[in-house]
Amino acid sequence: MSLTTEAILVLEDGRTFRGEAYGAIGETVGEIVFATGMTGYQETITDPSYHRQLLVQTAPHIGNTGFNSEDMESGQIWVAGYVVRDPARIPSSWRSEGTLADALVQQGVVGISGVDTRALTRHLRERGAMRAGISSITTHRDVLLERVLAAPPMAGADLSAEVSTRESYVVPAQGEKRFTVAAIDLGIKGMTPRRMAERGIEVHVLPSSATFEDVTAIAPDGVFMSNGPGDPAAADHAVDVLRQVLSAGIPYFGICFGNQIFGRALGLGTYKLTYGHRGINQPVQDLTTGRVEITSQNHGFAVDAPVEGGFETPYGPGRVTHLGLNDQVVEGIALVDAPAFSVQYHPEAAAGPHDSAYLFDRFVDLMEHHRAPVASPPPPPPPTEADVTGTAGTDPASPDPTSPDPTDADTPVGADAPEETA
């Protein structure tokens, strides 16, 4: 019989849940959010967008397929805390290399199990995402609540630099290289550059601190900005870089946080959603085709843009291209007359459905149609009147400008001229 350690979960409004420690023993605080996916928990918790968040899994059974090294979307687990109802005792998958609980322990992630996640999710839907804390070293509610209330809120947090790569790296194109893309890592998931590489794109992943000069140094055919954590209103550096990209006319594609950065670059506002969109079952309509797709999402902020009628930007007219069907939140925007678009969700489908894979093809088409032309010699100047008549504007005794020069390359320098013949 195994011994269990009691754990406690306290929300900033005082709502308290008790359960058992799951993962590392310790204490953690952050913004508590919920994700509705029934599968893909490993891809979810290794998504850098969950940095500084306590994640509630609404699916009751978690850990069934264990944990492996292939489904990591980054180099670590990023959730600040983990809340589940009924963790698997024994994983069952031929791909499993260990248990989820062991992975949480190894990476120091504090969690709690045995929680009524249905009641917790309903509470968050009514009250909104908020700060919370999990502890398995103290079970005193008031002590943990005091620490929760002292934690910084997500609004105003600039977190991209905390999850971004420190050094640039390249993901080579698969097969024939067709394009070069500069991907600015604001919290990028590993599958995203692979989806581009599958389409013949050589992806140069740059840190979030990259400047416009860093971007243009690789002579990209397009620029990409990734998903990531934090408040887009605090990401001024990324907005400034993107404005320079748009001014230069370089094709742009952004997802999730990159969509919010695009909105700000166009002069639009952003705002915090009550409880966000997180999961792999979010319905979105592509307004350009009318098609409805089921999408993978993870975001707590959105772009404030008019759904109908379009809007004006410093780079020409813009429009909303995608709409969330659950709550009518803007899920995609684009410039009408310039090569730039973005969506609020995750088309790389890790985890999630593949309905949105076409967006990478749309980016390829955008770069194909806006590829910089190959430099060619300037055309010869138009003929002048003198060229046509051979006399106008010239001395009749001067040589014909169209006659070959006896000192041209065919005649060696210093050689005698050929003798005249009758």
Residues with active-site annotation: 256, 346, 348
Q: Tell me the Ramachandran region of residue 73: left when phi exceeds 0, alpha when psi lies from -120 to 50, beta otherwise.
A: alpha
Where are the extended beta strands (E) located within 108-255? 110-113, 130-135, 169-171, 179-184, 201-206, 222-225, 252-255
Report the half-sphere exposure of 414 (CA within 13 A, side-chain side): 0
Q: Which two tokens stand for residue 256?
A: 């999730």
For residue 30, say whether it is annotated as part of any ligand binding site.
no
For residue 281, say whether it is annotated as part of any ligand binding site.
no
**Rounded CA gap, 120 and 125, in Å?**
9
For residue 227, say whether it is annotated as part of any ligand binding site.
no
Would you say how long the chain is, in residues? 422
**Rounded CA gap, 88 and 198, in Å?**
35
For residue 267, say whether it is annotated as part of any ligand binding site.
no
On whether the CB atoms of residues 281 and 294 are closer than 8 A, the answer is yes
Peptide bond just before 351 cis, omega within 30 deg: yes
Measured at the CA of 116, the angle between CA 115 and CA 121, to 5 degrees, comes to: 110
For residue 300, say whether it is annotated as part of any ligand binding site.
yes
**Rounded CA gap, 206 and 204, in Å?**
6
On whether the CB atoms of residues 252 and 246 are closer than 8 A, the answer is yes
Q: To 10 degrees, the CA torsion angle through 398, 400, 401, 406?
A: -90
**Residue numbers belonging to the annotated binding site:** 49, 228, 230, 257, 260, 298, 300-301
Annotated binding site for L-glutamine: 49, 228, 230, 257, 260, 298, 300-301
